[in-house]
A and B are shown apart, each in its own frame.
Chain A
């Protein structure tokens, strides 16, 4: 019953100076809202990066030649260490060996990747410098989670025959034929002066900020070898799709076992490396976690400032109401009831600020910020609520105690 009474007294106190209560509440509101929004931005960024990597295929292993300090000339990969009986190229035969269902039961599909640098596409007057140029087989599209916006992929036959067809990404199509990207299908474009017929346009994947996955041209691997890299049995890399994201490590072990045997190497002197998308994902997640912590810390500081605002106002309130405290003590209020009255008052201010801040945080997170859609984490809502309650208590204790310790005669004499 005494608590109900203290709440009633405290509410009267809060209402007594509305403007001041509102401004103090605003301090907490801004602090809580910024905690929620900034953590939501962190989570949104992290999720965006995760889904971006997911679009590239989370269950994809990339086997590439070990690039040593010496150089990366096609076919020139020299032995890293130890005896080597054959070249260190990755070949189509290596790739074929990886699709062995007995030796590599967890491998679902493989695709060769031949790349070339500085490829420029031209169509009529338009030119475009292609960021990613890939020669491969049709299985590449499913491995890298590609879908078509228009047209079709090229066939296995095209891939091995070196037909001059190309599947282009959205950015490339836009630069060459303009905004109606689907009209690119069937047109002949020149890639470094050599004509290719566009068989399909890839659906947009969306930029993750650093690189544009839509700035890509995919052609049959044999065409790439014939016309761009010069005939060579060497592949830049082999994309390997595991059966699921859960068997990534098994698939990686199988790939390594097969290639170790074929290249006659051991884990100590491997001439190739296997990169796991899951590892890239972990790295990216760690980076965004750091970002989130920094954002949260900044928001936390504004919350701290809000808390100091509560304490400041409570101290002013106690001073202003010294006489009232004296009266209350004279008519029988104990120290405890004075403490609880003022503590509840600061708790009310900060909890109202907290609840409104949570609402403001939700509203603020509805809009895209810094290029990402913030995602409110439910735990930040609970955390914010608890933190605002804690602020009310912690920053209210000192003023409340100060009020309770006043001697009634001093308080009554106070003008």
Chain B
């Protein structure tokens, strides 16, 4: 198992049959180490979103095996997959995907509710993580009362609250202005500096440049796998505590 968080072994995702067959992923094999910061890039339709769905256990592979933290996800039933998503993966989406009309602290605490953590402990933990992304003051605000950058921070706090092995971000800066984008990427870097494994899907080259390893997809295959820095290296050692 060595120290790979993600291990894909000739994974294919095929839509349709016969003539109409589309290989969204074509026999992809990749291994991502614990503590790495990986950017997955590619044009739209390159298979990077399918890749994200499979890595995030939101969708199953048609062929091949995917091990997350050593667990073969192909053998799991729906309930177990829900548990994996809950405990092993933290999702960050392009459009934040916070639950509307629900306070920031409750949004952050929600994964803990599904993990059957006690209510009081949930709130304490949620406030702690909100504090670590610099939003302790906004705990009681509803998503509609927060800026885009703040909403994304809440989403990141929600992703981190269960202390997952993998932070999976899908175009995390796609809906943000430049300033907020930088703040979010700084936050990712500091999380990485603290040992968090991050996989980030993006189509922006400058965003990808912040990662340690860049994997480029095209037509469902990996066409480039480029390491910019060592697994644990980080260019700007900003001291934001995670």
Contacts and interface: CB of A to CB of B under 8 A. Distances in A.
Interface in A307-346: 323-324, 326-337
Interface in A369-415: 407-409, 412
Contacts of A336: 79
Contacts of B59: 407-409
Nearest to B50: A409
A2 B210 CA distance: 40
Contacts of B111: 331-332
Interface in B75-95: 78-79, 82-83, 85-87, 91, 93
Contacts of B78: 334-335
A331 B86 contact: yes
Interface residues of B, number: 29
Contacts of A16: 101
A5 interface: yes
Interface string A10-32: 00100010000000000000000
Contacts of B56: 330
B17 interface: no
Interface residues of A, number: 24
Contacts of B101: 12, 16
B93 A5 contact: no
B97 A323 contact: yes
A328 B113 CA distance: 11
A5 B113 contact: yes
Interface string A172-215: 00000000000000000000000000000000000000000000
A337 B78 CA distance: 13
Contact of B115 (A324, A330, A332): A332
Given A1-B118, A323-B97, A331 B58 contact: no
B199 interface: no
Contact of B100 (A324, A328, A412): A324
A2 B110 contact: no
Nearest to B159: A331
Contact of A327 (B99, B119, B162): B99
B83 A332 contact: yes
* Nearest 3 A/B pairs, CB to CB: A332-B86, A334-B82, A332-B114
Interface of A: 1-2, 4-5, 12, 16, 323-324, 326-337, 407-409, 412
Interface of B: 53, 56, 58-59, 78-79, 82-83, 85-87, 91, 93, 97-102, 110-111, 113-116, 118-119, 158, 162
23 contacts: A1-B116, A1-B119, A2-B113, A4-B119, A12-B101, A12-B102, A16-B101, A324-B99, A328-B110, A330-B97, A331-B85, A331-B91, A331-B110, A331-B158, A332-B85, A332-B87, A332-B114, A332-B115, A334-B79, A335-B79, A407-B58, A409-B53, A412-B58
